[in-house]
Structure 1
């Protein structure tokens, strides 16, 4: 991961020439000029430089390397369901200050035979169907482990871009209503090409206009003042949690943010860390070969990695895991705080950015119904405190 350098005067001059040549330079022309000067610039950084969303910038390729896909209603879920047949893929999920990349094969969910259901289970069919819709028929556990909120998937594209070596690089790319990238899939098997092409043909949007309009992101809602929170009730509810998954419901019930919950937590349930503790955590997990779980999401999808990591390394502004089938990139310069968090007998480590948004969280890998490994608890206790 490389940080974008300051836009050189040469680019500014090129854009002025384009503007003078044909009135105002089109977005496609401005994008072309930027790539000429900086051929390695990442599209997300380029979009920020050009003052547009990544989806708008990608859409300039419609008609050549990009195909717009249907994205209304259940379309994103059905595209992801079909993507289960692509074989080995690289799945990439990101937020503003973190990127998680996993290469592997997604697990399909086996449908439950009707005769295996008892009366009690049958009564839960509606709930089960809703859950099936959210998981798109798979992606639970295994190498590609995802949790979806499809209501926030608003734009979808298929990309077939020839690389410098002449090999076509294919991908499915999804964006939220503001044009921010939420998830991308890159097929890695030659056998997946036919599946990809059929998927693109079946989900091709009838409108292949390259001009994509997206609304500006609404200002972030103001956090509820601590004085207006029933802290005593919140702390009691925290202590009474029987499952860590109940935490999100608590946040909704008390109308507070995750970072605010860290401040208002019961005594002994959280410990503030220095932001640089993320390096210690990753380095020690690699050194000890301690299996960890990494959760990174953006409100539309969460991607989870479970296993051992090996190679950690710094790059300008970022700290990374660089293993063959798993990459994690964290913009540590944007980290404001970290926390060791204890909920329902489970210990996690969470990191927040300067805007108060959670970037990434970590857990120790444990068997269902078994206590968390002591080695994980010991590692969290040794992290540098804030």
Structure 2
């Protein structure tokens, strides 16, 4: 540009010099940009081909804010690398379709989040991918299904009936069979459980939940190997389901208080579960911190820091009673999602697992009157009072 002529107004407004910055800040900067400048075409070509470090395009090719979040998750989950996505389901879809192709077969737990179940039963068959469902609590069934499979998929704590998979046993079985293992660790969070310790190759999270922790972001992430990261990155570049910088910043903010929040979620959920277990109208309480839970001993081994903020209970009277209970609550919200500041409830059969037919729901242990509860950060005495009133009206 001619140095003797002053650039026009809009040119000067666009080409603002970056501020000098030699000091660190406690908040990671948000690089809210889709693209990055290069000095030469060669530098551009080398960087976009991943032969040279740097950033080219935020959709899968990297962004400093995203990279900071991905490295943080890998550090907390004790894996080599990580990659972030636009949602938890984008993470599940990308991981599965990166590791399986037409003609392949995967083995999956029969206790899954409704969205994952729909992906496995409705979408993957259209890709020519076969899915064998097994109980994660039946080692013989898992062992029989693993030969020739390209992936094993399970949830640490299952949604919505809060069963706990013995990841130590399952991870060893997958290692012995040479089958890659993936686990949705959303309900536990990186604070309560690190599945990579038990041989799991790919650890997925809906960052929307406990990682974010404030009901204000939608995102997903996988903690994985370096090879896994490259495979998932390449698939995400082609399919587009990548995280945005602001969501990554919100997730990083959430990680800073994850331990404090998970400790409180766990304490409050334990107290609420004990209260519900003593109520006559409650037929059964699903919470791994209770001695009555069928996987209590497994949970004590896998989750030494706490049993998490998710519980479920079966109310006497089936579907109608479950919905009446939810409607009678004042403090707790009827709402989708989980893992945040507010206590959220939902009747599983009519909401999160509506995609499953009654036979499949029963096979997964989801009763007609099952109410799922994400215990928030409110004072637990207030929550118990609210649930007590609602039970009287159910």
Query: In which range does the TM-score fall when normalised by the shorter chain?
Result: under 0.3
- What TM-score do you get using the length of structure 1 for normalisation? 0.28
Decide which structure has greater strand share. Answer: 1
- The structure whose residues are more often helix, as a share, is 2
TM-score, normalised on structure 2? 0.27
